[in-house]
Chains A and B, each alone.
Chain A
Amino acid sequence: MRTYSGHSNAKKSNELYRTNLAKGQTGLSIAFDLPTQTGYDADHELARGEVGKVGVSVAHKGDMHTLLDGIPLGEMNTSMTINATAMWLLSLYIATGDENGVDQAELSGTTQNDILKEYLSRGTYNNVPKWNPINICSYHLQEAGATPVQEIAYAMSNAIAVLDAVRDRGEVPEDEFHKVFGRISFFVNAGIRFIEEHAKLRAMGRIWDELGRDRYGVTDEKMRRFRYGVQVNSLGLTESQPENNLQRIVLEALAVTIGRDARARALQLPAWNEALGLPRPWDQQWALRIQQVLAFETDLLDYPDIFEGSKVMDGLVDELVQGAKAEMAVVEEHGGAVNAVPYMKAALVESNSRRLGRIESGEQIVVGQNKFASTEESPLTADAEGGIMTIDPEVERELIDEVRKWRSERDQAAVDEALAALADAARDDSINLMPLSIAAAKAGATTGEWSATLRDVFGEYRAPTGIGDAAVTVDDVVLAGLRERVEQVSDQLGRRIKILIGKPGLDGHSNGSEQISVRARDCGMDVVYDGIRLTPAQIANSAVQEGVHVVGLSILSGSHMELIPNVIEALREAGVDVPVVCGGIIPEADAPKLIEAGVARVYTPKDFELNRIMGDIIDLVAAKAGATAVA
């Protein structure tokens, strides 16, 4: 039982963890801020506005010591939701444990990690045997719009890609391969259709067992057990009438706990107000209490598997298994998960676009959003902050000062030497980077320095966006009016309406911007999709070079008040005089301030009608063109 938490600096988060443990939490799920997750120190340009926001900033071993101060590491099951910098944060964790006299063999937990082959085949599984280095994360698949069949199929295909790669590298002896298989865990999502969601998990268990036995020859049944942790769906949480999210979360929690044969090993629940902004400690406590009620008050855990022998459940599982296997075969045809990334990505964008289309048309009911939308004033969001936590902007300044101070006070020569050794090792495929990372951690290197060292060697891979292949999913009739408007205005401009869509800041949640991109294309616009993690200067440069008529920005990290005005300023400096619209997890209260800063339209999560947004965009471009023509 744990809640995903952390904010501001190490000291404040440490206080939070201690309080949570005192409240009955049994593990840690560390939320890092976006700069830490993506490998930048607080004083990097890209980190601006994001420091300490969605999690804690951990720049070096000093921070890790503070973060874990007084917490018995040997007894903790720790989850780190982190990809790119997983190896580094695990190194800091181990270094901290070492310096506190905790043996590596005692540490247990999970890092969500994507640098797959590196990790598994270089023997990490032997050094920290209780750590699950790889977590096949299908959570984000559902957040990206996956149907249950897609979620199963893509998660399994990813796992196959990892396992095949490790096997083919031949560095793991055959008789130890079952250990690698057994250390793979999954991180899945659970949605509101909780019966089918439960069937999904049973289906995953069945396929995983078969894969282990048939494809990888794992004979030990225990090693073939499907192990997974859960974060329930935040995609379905709404901003309107947010109190309804609580019952959604409870039902989703049931999906992953109701049948013993497919019960989650670790569960974390979001707070009811996630769609509004950052949850406060009280909101997180409420999320923890849900789990405690389920576990200690109900009889949920008293029985063996309650679906044993259920024809309906078995039928549902059979159906999902069949569907998933068919989809896995398609991925295989595309050359396996690695080569099929563009295919899978396009399929997900399509599913999500279909889902949004159903909500828009009212075919899929979302209570409080597209149906039963009238509401009494909510006392939960009545306070000045709107029922969320706001981080003092001062935190960022303090952390910038702190990391600079850290760098000036450490033994620079030792750090340089450790990073040079890391760089050398990274160029050599056969060397395990883990011990060198631990050495760098002990020498006092920072998160940004470790990442920069590896970025220099490996370069930066820009993943395919996949959206170009997404099919039209909305009825032509519905779009006809918008298309006609686009043609008219384009004719007036002499060029087709061209829109730039991009995400400033560090958050990687690209669903919103992808959906806007796909719909804008379906309305007839030329859409330049600029991708994620962009600096204001990059966005301005793209707007100039592409000659766009309008700019759309998406931001979900809560840093819009810092970043959006920066982008507007950069556009002005670059001489781009076009309307800017923005959307994301933006509290209602911030909208007027953004408009004042020069944004033409602000869209919050309650604006689910994409066609209305498209209409606005066309009007804005037309108004601008009209004004220019008159001038």
Chain B
Amino acid sequence: MNANPPDPAELGRRLAARDRTAAPAALNVIEQTGERHAADVAALLAEVAPEKLGGDAPGMIVGVTGPPGAGKSTLLSELVAKWRERGKSVAVLAIDPSSKRSGGSLLGDRARIRVEPGDTDVLIRSTATATRLGGLAPATREAALAMAAAFDVVIVETVGVGQSETDIAELADSVVVIVQPASGDVLQFIKSGVMEIPDLLVVTKSDLGAPATRAARELMGTVKTLGSHTPVLLVSSLPPSTGVDELIDTVESHHASLDLPASRAEARRAAALDAFVHEHGERGLRAVGGRRAAQRLLAEPSPTPGLPRLVELLQDAAGY
């Protein structure tokens, strides 16, 4: 937008040096689609790849997902505030669906999260899913991995229940699914196996009293029956909130128990495949020998390299 757009590699280097003021401009580059911009995007991402950083980007990537109206934005606002109180820098990638008819979108989460305008340690970025299924926007994976180089916590917020968690599960280190009391969706999805059990289940609106406690009890029962140890937490995010500190503690301890390199490698492989398919379509995928073959190809190098290198692998195999 400026007369002289900033150099993409320089933006990447600034992120790698944890200069968070570079984040908005970096996202402007990463979110660009189309062949004309591919080189810029790759140049930026190369600077925050594990090869350059000497390991995985240190920030926690936390997925927060749930049905519309479950209280996600209010909870998010509280999460940001509490993490800031703990001295952590936080980036929020808030993703909302695009209209199928117009291609446009209304991104209203920003209005519900109060941040201090002078605080460069909080970034809220709203994006739309465009034509994608699965709840993520075209560049969310790349954006989240890049932000994790500069921010302590990267929250990826998506709307949906049922299918959208798969994508976010691949991307995020920890996935929190929000459940609204008195709506049986999540419970039914888990019971029927449509939905994998997330790392954490949160029942919101505990200020409602009995319905919330009942919902939490039912979820706990189901989770246990299925042999999982996923914690079920009750929060009320309406100020003064309750349970949010406990939620943060639980997320942090889940994160600490993770095999981060493995989780991030999975995220990068999924991102590379996704970016490749987005650019070259199913045709490109066939040129590699199909989805399975592509996945095998991506799993070969050890350790798993950064995104740009992974995409190159696929392009080479396809002969592009």
Task: Tell me if A537 counts as interface (CB < 8 A to partner B).
Answer: yes
Q: Decide if B110 touches A542 in the complex (CB within 8 Å).
A: yes
Q: In the bound complex, how far is the Cα of B34 from the Cα of A494, in angstroms?
A: 7
Q: Decide if B1 touches A469 in the complex (CB within 8 Å).
A: no
- Among candidates B98, B108, B124, B125, residue contacting A529 with C-beta atoms closer than 8 Å: B108
Q: Decide if B108 touches A465 in the complex (CB within 8 Å).
A: yes
Residue of A nearest to B124 (CB): A545
Q: Decide if A526 touches B1 in the complex (CB within 8 Å).
A: no
Which of B1-15 touch A at CB < 8 Å?
Answer: 1-5
Q: In the bound complex, how far is the Cα of B114 from the Cα of A460, in angstroms?
A: 9
Task: Tell me if B291 counts as interface (CB < 8 A to partner A).
Answer: no
Task: Tell me if A520 counts as interface (CB < 8 A to partner B).
Answer: yes
Q: In the bound complex, how far is the Cα of B130 from the Cα of A522, in angstroms?
A: 14
Q: In the bound complex, how far is the Cα of B33 from the Cα of A546, in angstroms?
A: 17
Q: In the bound complex, how far is the Cα of B238 from the Cα of A469, in angstroms?
A: 22
* Contact surface of A with B, Cβ cutoff 8 Å: 335, 339, 342, 457-470, 472, 476, 479, 483, 486-487, 491, 494-496, 517-518, 520-532, 535, 537-538, 540-542, 544-547, 549, 575-578, 624, 627-628, 631
Q: Decide if A531 touches B111 in the complex (CB within 8 Å).
A: yes
Please give, as numbers and ranges, the residues of chain B lying within 8 Å of A460 by CB-CB distance. 114, 239
Q: In the bound complex, how far is the Cα of B36 from the Cα of A576, in angstroms?
A: 24
How extensive is the interface on chain B, given as a class? 35 or more
Q: Decide if A535 touches B117 in the complex (CB within 8 Å).
A: yes
**Stretch in B21-29, B42-50, B278-286 with 4+ CB within 8 Å of A:** B21-29
Q: In the bound complex, how far is the Cα of B36 from the Cα of A466, in angstroms?
A: 37
Which of B113-131 touch A at CB < 8 Å?
Answer: 113-115, 117-118, 123-128, 130
Q: Which 3 pairs across A and B sit closest by C-beta, in order of nearness?
A: A459-B239, A531-B111, A494-B32
Please give, as numbers and ranges, the residues of chain A lying within 8 Å of B98 by CB-CB distance. 526
Q: How far is the CB of B250 from chain A (nearest CB, A)?
A: 22
Q: Decide if A494 touches B96 in the complex (CB within 8 Å).
A: no
Most buried by B among A335, A469, A577: A335
Q: In the bound complex, how far is the Cα of B33 from the Cα of A537, in angstroms?
A: 30
Q: Decide if B123 touches A545 in the complex (CB within 8 Å).
A: yes
Q: Decide if B110 touches A529 in the complex (CB within 8 Å).
A: yes
Q: Decide if B68 touches A469 in the complex (CB within 8 Å).
A: yes
Please give, as numbers and ranges, the residues of chain A lying within 8 Å of B114 by CB-CB distance. 460, 462
- Among candidates A472, A494, A541, residue contacting B101 with C-beta atoms closer than 8 Å: A472
Q: How far is the CB of B289 from chain A (nearest CB, A)?
A: 31
Q: Decide if B25 touches A547 in the complex (CB within 8 Å).
A: yes
Q: Decide if A495 touches B110 in the complex (CB within 8 Å).
A: no
Task: Tell me if B240 counts as interface (CB < 8 A to partner A).
Answer: yes
Please give, as numbers and ranges, the residues of chain A lying within 8 Å of B125 by CB-CB distance. 545-547
Residue of B nearest to A335 (CB): B182
Which of B97-113 touch A at CB < 8 Å?
Answer: 98-99, 101-108, 110-113
Q: In the bound complex, how far is the Cα of B105 from the Cα of A521, in angstroms?
A: 5
Task: Tell me if B73 counts as interface (CB < 8 A to partner A).
Answer: yes
Q: Decide if B104 touches A486 in the complex (CB within 8 Å).
A: yes
Q: Decide if B239 touches A527 in the complex (CB within 8 Å).
A: no
Please give, as numbers and ranges, the residues of chain A lying within 8 Å of B99 by CB-CB distance. 472, 521-522
Please give, as numbers and ranges, the residues of chain B lying within 8 Å of A461 by CB-CB distance. 238-239
In the assembled complex, 18 residue pairs joining A and B whose CB atoms fall closer than 8 Å, in A order, are A459-B241, A461-B239, A462-B111, A467-B106, A468-B107, A476-B101, A521-B105, A522-B102, A526-B127, A527-B106, A531-B112, A535-B117, A544-B24, A545-B123, A545-B124, A545-B125, A577-B2, A577-B3
Q: Decide if B128 touches A496 in the complex (CB within 8 Å).
A: yes
- Among candidates A466, A538, A624, residue contacting B117 with C-beta atoms closer than 8 Å: A538
Please give, as numbers and ranges, the residues of chain B lying within 8 Å of A535 by CB-CB distance. 117
Given A458-B239, A461-B238, A468-B104 contact (CB < 8 Å): no
- Among candidates A528, A541, A628, residue contacting B1 with C-beta atoms closer than 8 Å: A628
Q: In the bound complex, how far is the Cα of B4 from the Cα of A549, in angstroms?
A: 15
Residue of B nearest to A522 (CB): B102
Q: Decide if A468 touches B108 in the complex (CB within 8 Å).
A: yes
- Among candidates B4, B28, B104, B117, residue contacting A524 with C-beta atoms closer than 8 Å: B104
Q: How far is the CB of A426 from chain B (nearest CB, A)?
A: 10
Q: Decide if A483 touches B240 in the complex (CB within 8 Å).
A: no
Q: How far is the CB of A451 from chain B (nearest CB, A)?
A: 14
Q: In the bound complex, how far is the Cα of B101 from the Cα of A607, in angstroms?
A: 26
Q: Decide if B117 touches A495 in the complex (CB within 8 Å).
A: no
Q: How far is the CB of A345 from chain B (nearest CB, A)?
A: 10
- Among candidates A458, A495, A518, residue contacting B106 with C-beta atoms closer than 8 Å: A518
- Among candidates B3, B69, B118, B123, residue contacting A628 with C-beta atoms closer than 8 Å: B3
Please give, as numbers and ranges, the residues of chain B lying within 8 Å of A577 by CB-CB distance. 1-3
Residue of B nearest to A458 (CB): B239
Which of B128-179 touch A at CB < 8 Å?
Answer: 128, 130
Most buried by A among B104, B107, B117, B182: B104
Residue of A nearest to B239 (CB): A459
